[in-house]
Amino acid sequence: MLQIYEDTALRKKERFDTLQRIANKVRQMPVRYADSFIKQLGNLGSRRTLLELIKEFCKRRARA
């Protein structure tokens, strides 16, 4: 039982760490990109995934 709990806790920590790294990257974006990213993040639904949104913004930054 303890092993299952530890595995679950570690997975949740990894997900939290990933979200923290994404948040740090968003804070480092120019304001116009960050505002747009945050707005689109709030509108995520079944038509788009977080990964698709991140890929789109990575392409935009590469072009800028």
**pTM of the predicted structure, to 2 decimals:** 0.55
pLDDT score recorded for residue 39 = 85
pLDDT tens for each residue of 9-34: 777 777 777 778 888 888 888 888 88
Q: Is the pLDDT of residue 2 over 70?
A: no
> What confidence category does residue 1 fall into, taking pLDDT thresholds of 50, 70 and 90?
low
SS (H, E, C) the chain: CHHHHHHHHHHHHHHHHHHHHHHHHHHHCCHHHHHHHHHHHHCCCCCCCHHHHHHHHHHHHHHC
Containing structural domain, residue 34: 2-63
Specify the number of domains making up the chain. Answer: 1
CA dist list (Å): 44 to 32, 37, 40, 47: 19, 11, 6, 7
Q: Is the pLDDT of residue 58 over 70?
A: yes
